[in-house]
Amino acid sequence: MNVLWLVMISVSVVFAIFTGNLEAFTKSIFDGAKSAVEVSLFLLGIVSIWMGITRILEDSGLIYRIAHLFKPIISRLFKNIPGDHPSITAITLNVLANLFGLGNAATPLGIKAMQELDALNEDKETITPEMMVFIVLNTASIQLIPFSVIGILATFGDSNPAAIVLPVLIATAVSAMTALLVLAAFRRFFG
Amino acid sequence: MIRAVEAISLLIIPLFILFTVWYGTFKKVRVYDSFVAGAKEGPAIILKIFPYLLTIFMAIKGFQASGAFDYVRDAFYGVFAFLDLPIEAVSMSIFKPLSGSASTALFTDIVQTSGTDSMATRMSAVIMGSAETTFYVLAVYLGAVNIRKTRYLVPVCLVADLIGIVVAVCVARYFF
């Protein structure tokens, strides 16, 4: 992350100098700050709502029933989580929210999962293999029905916007599996 | 089919909330108190994430405004033109990992300008549906637990994104 950020900032400034976009570059940095505040405020509301809903699900025990159903799959992907650890529940719910395209619900549940996984982490500054699997699953975007895309297509008069469901499903399944394989390959080479 | 999909997408969250509240009440949970207790965690989480979001947004916006983004895109244009692929899909594949709102805006623009049944639209739709805003996910999830040493996670995500886009392009090509 450190290297990536350094490269992005350096390349941007050098390009801005060469293309004479310095003014636009400076302005854009403050635009970025504005977006960060806006996204955070939006997230504050959404995250709080889903944290509230999740707490009801926890207090009523429903969350544990849902998680129990998916435990066999989850514990295969995440090998070092103890059998009845709360992170399994959070991971399951995050994956389900992603599958059903509920992006707004997936983020808070993902944050919760990361916090639970961090409870198992001995070196708090360094990422664990389980966290990597979890983040890679999320960046690979597993999704059953791409609601937002279908919505836009329908708005502009596509007669059959649902035709993209199957191609997206195949693309997303293949790329998620490849992403996990890439992670496994890196793990083998870099420990 | 599309009617059913629309109905499900409209109903799923309201019904889920209703079910949660009723199930909680059935299990003798004081749902109002539970909800408030859960929601209280929200602000602390956002405070933790904010600096990470700021850092990543600043880098991405600067990258776009400096002209570096255009340069990268032009380099990809060459490759796509050579492979006889719609160039709109190039912008899509670069934008999607960087910014969710920008890629949605871009997708809407592609649908508007090239029509719903064009190859450009369909390829972009598959990329939209099967890729994720990688940098945002990284900032939010790593920020939530203050992880600083990410080892080989970022290269893995970038390689996976690249493969994901190749897969999306191939699948779109095969289907349409």
For residue A31, what is the nearest residue in chain B, using CA coordinates?
Answer: B61
User: From the CA of B111, how many Å to the nearest CA of chain A?
Assistant: 7
Q: Phi, psi (5° rounding) for residue A142? A: -80, 130
| Interchain contact, A12 vs B59, CB within 8 Å | yes
pLDDT digits (tens, 9 = 90+) for B62-112: 988 888 888 888 888 888 788 888 888 888 888 888 888 788 889 998 998
The C-alpha atoms of residue B22 and residue B90 are separated, in whole angstroms, by 47
> What pLDDT score does B9 carry?
65
- For the full predicted model, state whether its pTM sits above 0.90: no
Q: Count the Cβ atoms, other than its own, within 10 Å of residue B62.
A: 27
Q: What is the value of ipTM here, to two decimals?
A: 0.85
Residues in chain B: 176
**Is the pLDDT at B3 greater than 80, yes or no?**
no
Mean pLDDT in residue range A91-96: 88
**Is the pLDDT at A83 greater than 80, yes or no?**
no
Q: Lowest-confidence range among A49-58, A94-103, A125-134? A: A94-103
The C-alpha atoms of residue B29 and residue B22 are separated, in whole angstroms, by 10
CA end-to-end span of chain B, whole Å?
19
CB contacts < 8 A, A to B, total 329
> What pLDDT score does A151 carry?
81
Quote the tokens at residue A25.
């570059």
> What pLDDT score does B71 carry?
85
Quote the tokens at residue A53.
């809903």
> What pLDDT score does B104 carry?
87
Q: Is residue B159 very low, low, confident or very high in pLDDT (cuts 50, 70, 90)?
A: very high
Q: Which residue has the higher pLDDT, A20 or A119?
A: A119
Crossing angle, helix A165-190 and helix A129-139, to 10 degrees? Answer: 150
